[in-house]
Structure 1
């Protein structure tokens, strides 16, 4: 198999590291705990008519090269102590190539590569790669030696020029079979690639790799693709191209599919094709042997799906996100009447937290890394007063009002000129980070980003006044029931235990709601039982009309069912541009120059007990 040489970008920096050294590094790491969790490696078939192909896979790397959290300006860590980034993936890949034989491995990616971190944002917006800079993800993936990758929906976020530039910078094909010209219906990008392997000196094996993306791009990036690119369904396009691949000589077919395994759509029936269709693909399209799954950010070591036409078992695997895992799919092949076919298959995942970063990748991109660290610590504006989220879980704060104001402003901007523009706008936010604070005076990118620590994107849905009340009642379950107005310590009234939260309702599942051009006001009477706590609910100074329609700015986690809030998963979606809320807040500060809470912050909700204001002493 012809793996690409280290990129020209790497060579230019004078950091080329020999393949032998990389394999030694990987072998040293793998000798101990590097591949902890991997099943014992069974020797490949010994028969001259049998061969084992190992397909390695990543997905949803989202701009992560290093094990680094740019918003904290510190090494990445989470509750599960995952590590992230292509530098760690490179070490795992080198270890697998050393173990299985480089010529027996195929390395694929399933999309969402160039969006998600300040590193990727910087080279899309601040110093765009269209000006000549090599995208850090391209430099890393070229150096690692990827064989092919699928496009993800987030590849379209920064526009077609950035995407096309990224495509040209890669030393391997970027595939997408279901992005077609708006007028002609012809594919805009390369739909598939064929990879020829010569196992055991001449018995050729041709592996076809098909790339597919979720059709949701048509909704999420409508402003970018409308009139230019259409996105037919995954299953329909696969039915077109898999036979073409077989006719072109593909012995086996592997699909790199940026679409989740569990059939569903965040956009409801707005498109005739489901957002998540990897299982349907396996069930309905014959001659697919394995699918590298992306988009859903799930950890699926292996899953078998039966094709309904042939009865064949199709192997699926999804390696979580951000480079936390590497998929390893082993396909045992036999030669029948001169053609290779899969006789057995299995898959497992390797954990990036078990290996060190590859020093070659670190060397290639240390300059970009330093540039972006300087950026996130740069001053982007000022704040008239300090804002803290420390008390946001039990009192209305300017910090949460700030998030709601930015969300509402973006939805209002996007809906201008549409039928929904006349509807009043509300917004929800949760106290994600008790430590979040914006200082008085100069404000940095990191200060602002701390207000929104999750990678959620923004949507706009339509709820009635009655549904708004139900939503707030559900949210108010966060509070423990009391018999007096206190005083209380915060923990005495918050994080209530419920049937679905036996360890206490987390802060991120407590939402407050605010109006944009007019105030939404209400009391939460925590002396009452859950379900009967919202009192004095008013919009623009009058009792809320149960049938009035509101556009509600909401995050994708909540809209897709996270927290199981009522009404949201079936509500009409009127805005979904797949914009990260955190980045929207940063962009707002850059555009405005100053944060002045006096222009957007009012006290709109309070805790009461039998109509008496609750006293909380934090």
Structure 2
């Protein structure tokens, strides 16, 4: 799930907004200050991708973290509401899974009759008027999700999630939720007069949930293309008498051209006639603002528009509050938008490479989830075994890595046991695993870092972030090579003799950088990547993967192998060539995390030392630059498979290193 979010200097507005909670100082939005007698200011606030982060606390590191937490985001909501004459608050999904509190509630506590999930208790405090679903709402199954949503005191909407086969007309689909809701407001105009305003809020989830959570959804649900669903439902909303239409799109921004069932469809959703504003998410980015969206056709990252319409993406884990401000003008009996502004307001900024909180906790939000927070702390601190050496991921993108190694070891151990009495018992078992915590947008501390000694559940969750389940596929040696060719898209192409060229492809997510254990290989960075991010062979003749060996011999392209992985990858997640559900021969009932815990229990003391099964092909006279966490400086000597040098300070608190090829 990568470039850093970067620093967020305190603007005059964000400073006043942060101070308002404690000082009472309020600065009206210009629309509220200058609205005429037939004009009204409407402010719409968005949270998105909260991922159960109620507290500003990193459960994996077992320490406070000022970059996250709904309690922090919540502390500025009242002040931000006060800057506006009329306002409403919405959530854009991915609130139910993503940290150990989510797993504790699902796997240890469960949801008994009448229980309210702590994330819902916290959100109920804040006065949301609507929410939609993200892909991670489905990770624990439909029954669990429905129990959690039953506790919300605001409606959930989703227009493209159906209970069965798709109808010929999207408006005839049997949906799990209402496609939209209508919020009726009595708004105050510039003269102080009041008028009714009907706001339609429609929601969308990525269609890819049918791949990512097929084990929970197969035979129970189906998804429709986001834009197709919007084109069908927006006219119905208009017939329902809404004045403006707001889209809650748990979908990112991609300008590569519209295609069926796009994962990141928000740009083209904005192009649907009748939609007035778009709230986006899913990508864990900030819009308007960072460089991530520069140069995209139809996207204005300064003004905050998609195809000319106001849009916002409010970061992740509560890092920002998304704001769209509309100046509405009454036209007869209806309203139209005559001006707008957009903003993603942060809860922190960086100063001298350090995180500085701009806001304080909101006490009633903390109180709502305090009991579950304490229970989660006890849960994550429970020891499960020992490690004889440190586990860290600072160099996971440039060298064989102990944090990835232990995941692979556990998967191999498990799959061999599961398949020992099956038709696949005589096939060699390989294991594919990727580094999940590798800096990037997560920041300079977003790395696995477990010292030698006791391993607690918090450390296992740190090694494996997601509640994926173990799956195994049977593929050929040729397909193993192409799997690795896809992974090698992590790197830029280097010219032989280049000095300090950028090494890492910032658009390639670390969770798609699979290392396959059980084989040995080199990566030739002088050749271009064979596949693009969608698994299309853009350089079909390229062979970055060199000297691919099994048991000391060149791999046989026709030989069959079992490869242990997870349900995301085995189901087609990441668009790896020829890796899909039809290759799956074993779907485990156990999560990858549970398997790691059981492996550590079994071993009692693990040896996580990386076996060095992959490295880069030498390119004499060539060096490349990459960034990682500054704590990596003390670990350079531990890396044996490649030569790494300290290259000074990087951006946003990262450290810069040189790879000598």
TM above 0.5, one fold?
yes
Q: Deviations over 1:101-152 (max 9, x none)?
A: 4xx1010111101000111221121101245432111111110111100111
Contact 1:408–1:553 (8 Å) recurs in 2 = yes
Displacement of 1:209 after TM fit?
0.5
Q: Does residue 61 of the first structure (1) align with residue 64 of the second (2)?
A: no
Quickly say closer, same or farther: Cα 1:501–1:282, change in 2 above 3 A. same
Q: Counterpart of 2:35?
A: 46
Contact 2:470–2:591 (8 Å) recurs in 1 = no
Question: What is the alpha-carbon root mean square deviation over aligned residues?
Answer: 5.1
Q: Counterpart of 1:279?
A: 267
Contact 2:406–2:608 (8 Å) recurs in 1 = yes
Gaps of 5+ in 1: 1-22, 78-82, 483-495, 560-567, 578-582
How many angstroms apart in 1 are the aligned matches of 2:144 and 2:317? Answer: 21
Contact 1:465–1:545 (8 Å) recurs in 2 = no
Contact 1:385–1:596 (8 Å) recurs in 2 = no
What does 1:45-194 align with in structure 2 at a 5 Å threshold? 45-76=34-65, 83-101=67-85, 104-183=86-165, 185-194=173-182
Quickly say closer, same or farther: Cα 1:25–1:524, change in 2 above 3 A. closer
Q: Counterpart of 2:501?
A: 499
Q: Counterpart of 1:242?
A: 234
TM-score, with normalisation over the residues of structure 1? 0.72
How many angstroms apart in 2 are the aligned matches of 1:571 and 1:99? Answer: 51
Q: 2:282 aligns with which of 274, 295, 307?
A: 295
Contact 2:118–2:372 (8 Å) recurs in 1 = yes
Q: Does residue 572 of the first structure (1) align with residue 578 of the second (2)?
A: yes
**DSSP-derived class of the 1:281 partner:** helix
Residue-pair matches, total: 543
Quickly say closer, same or farther: Cα 1:547–1:288, change in 2 above 3 A. same
With 353-362 and 176-185 compared, the bigger mean Cα shift is at 176-185
Q: Counterpart of 1:605?
A: 613
Q: 1:205 aligns with which of 194, 197, 203?
A: 197
**DSSP-derived class of the 1:238 partner:** helix
Q: 2:385 aligns with which of 358, 382, 386?
A: 382
Q: Does residue 520 of the first structure (1) align with residue 511 of the second (2)?
A: no
How many angstroms apart in 2 are the aligned matches of 1:62 and 1:368? Answer: 15
Gaps of 5+ in 2: 1-16, 168-172, 300-305, 349-357, 439-445, 530-541, 585-589, 619-639, 646-661
Displacement of 1:450 after TM fit?
4.1
Quickly say closer, same or farther: Cα 1:575–1:376, change in 2 above 3 A. farther
How many angstroms apart in 2 are the aligned matches of 1:257 and 1:390? Answer: 33
Displacement of 1:497 after TM fit?
6.3
Q: Counterpart of 1:486?
A: none
Contact 1:522–1:604 (8 Å) recurs in 2 = no
How many angstroms apart in 2 are the aligned matches of 1:545 and 1:557? Answer: 27
What does 1:195-344 align with in structure 2 at a 5 Å threshold? 195-200=183-188, 201-262=193-254, 272-283=260-271, 285-301=272-288, 313-344=308-339
How many angstroms apart in 1 are the aligned matches of 2:130 and 2:560? Answer: 47
Q: Deviations over 1:441-498 (max 9, x none)?
A: x53112333445799999989763554675798889999999xxxxxxxxxxxxx964
Displacement of 1:256 after TM fit?
0.6
Q: Counterpart of 2:461?
A: 449
Displacement of 1:425 after TM fit?
3.8
Q: 1:28 aligns with which of 1, 22, 30?
A: 22
Q: Counterpart of 1:436?
A: 449
Contact 2:160–2:229 (8 Å) recurs in 1 = yes
Quickly say closer, same or farther: Cα 1:550–1:259, change in 2 above 3 A. farther
TM-score, with normalisation over the residues of structure 2? 0.68
Contact 1:88–1:357 (8 Å) recurs in 2 = yes
Q: Counterpart of 1:587?
A: 594
How many angstroms apart in 2 are the aligned matches of 1:297 and 1:415? Answer: 38
**DSSP-derived class of the 2:83 partner:** helix
With 180-189 and 386-395 compared, the bigger mean Cα shift is at 386-395
**DSSP-derived class of the 1:199 partner:** strand
